């Protein structure tokens, strides 16, 4: 797999790759000397290092020979989230995708999701693995407030809002499981690499 490496200051290298989770899993399994943190995003992996132990040139030479690991076989937990599918956009998305509401719920709960990366807000995990038929655009006009626990889709991702915030994702339902809790150790329920399933429950 072709990767592109970009230096980021004196303490990091940015890896552009088509398999961020696989690349991250490989580095987690066998971390190069000096690597102190891996920060995944949609198409990149930021590799932070200790300049007292290595430098961008030495680390880059190693990174060019990394073979991504199948992230499905990497050690990671699985979280099952019970969802009440009563979201404000549920019927609209069903109509847009040419399905009944029940069929849409079945498609969403059948997905095998993986937390690809976190961003936007603490604990907001971008969950890859959506059925392509569910790849719908964000709302043209974002809502000013989406309740915590809202289960939503946008583009190729699903997500659970960790706290009340503005947002433009399409709301399918809600879960009572807190995905971000500062009283929990660690507070993030869905760190990158976590496998996630949604389970439909009654109101």
pLDDT of residue 99 exceeding 80, the answer is yes
Of the candidates 67, 24, 16, the residue with the CA atom closest to the CA atom of residue 194: 24
Predicted confidence at residue 66, as pLDDT, reads 87
Q: In whole numbers, what is the pLDDT of the chain averaged over residues?
A: 90
Predicted confidence at residue 79, as pLDDT, reads 94
Predicted confidence at residue 177, as pLDDT, reads 96
Question: 36-77: per-residue pLDDT in tens?
Answer: 998 888 788 999 999 999 999 999 999 988 888 765 544 557
Segment among 59-68, 71-80, 82-91, 95-104 with least mean pLDDT = 71-80
How many of the other CB atoms lie within 10 Å of CB of 82? Answer: 14
Between residues 84 and 23, the one the model is more confident about: 84
DSSP label at residue 133: G
Please give the domain boundaries of the chain with CATH numbers for all domains: 4-63 (3.30.1360.40), 78-200 (2.40.100.10)
The DSSP element (H or E) to which 200 belongs, if any, is strand 195-200
* % of the chain residues with pLDDT over 90: 64
Grade residue 106 by pLDDT with cuts at 50, 70 and 90: very high
* % of the chain residues with pLDDT over 70: 96
Question: 161-190: per-residue pLDDT in tens?
Answer: 999 999 999 999 999 999 999 999 889 999
Question: 110-128: per-residue pLDDT in tens?
Answer: 999 999 888 888 899 999 9
Q: Is the dihedral of CA 112, 76, 128, 146 positive or negative?
A: positive
Predicted confidence at residue 120, as pLDDT, reads 82
The DSSP element (H or E) to which 108 belongs, if any, is helix 101-110
Predicted confidence at residue 121, as pLDDT, reads 87
Determine if the pTM surpasses 0.75: yes
């Amino acid at each position: 797999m072709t990767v592109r490496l970009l230096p980021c200051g004196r303490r990091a290298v940015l890896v552009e790759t088509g398999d961020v989770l696989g690349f991250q899993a490989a580095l987690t399994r066998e971390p190069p000397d000096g690597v102190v943190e891996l920060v995944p995003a949609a198409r990149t992996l930021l590799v932070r290092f200790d300049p007292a132990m290595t430098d961008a040139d030495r680390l880059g030479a190693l990174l060019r020979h990394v073979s991504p690991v199948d992230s499905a076989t990497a050690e990671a937990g699985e979280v099952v989230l019970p969802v009440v599918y009563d979201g404000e956009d549920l019927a609209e998305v069903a109509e847009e995708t040419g399905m009944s509401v029940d069929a849409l719920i079945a498609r969403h709960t059948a997905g095998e999701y993986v937390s690809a990366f976190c961003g936007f807000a603490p604990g907001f995990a971008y969950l890859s693995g959506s059925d392509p038929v569910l790849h719908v655009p964000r709302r043209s006009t974002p809502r000013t407030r989406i309740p915590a626990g809202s289960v939503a889709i946008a583009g190729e991702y699903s997500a659970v809002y960790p706290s009340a915030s503005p947002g433009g994702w399409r709301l399918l339902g809600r879960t009572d499981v807190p995905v971000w809790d500062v009283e929990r150790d660690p507070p993030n329920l869905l760190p990158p690499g976590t496998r996630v399933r949604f389970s439909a429950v009654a109101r």
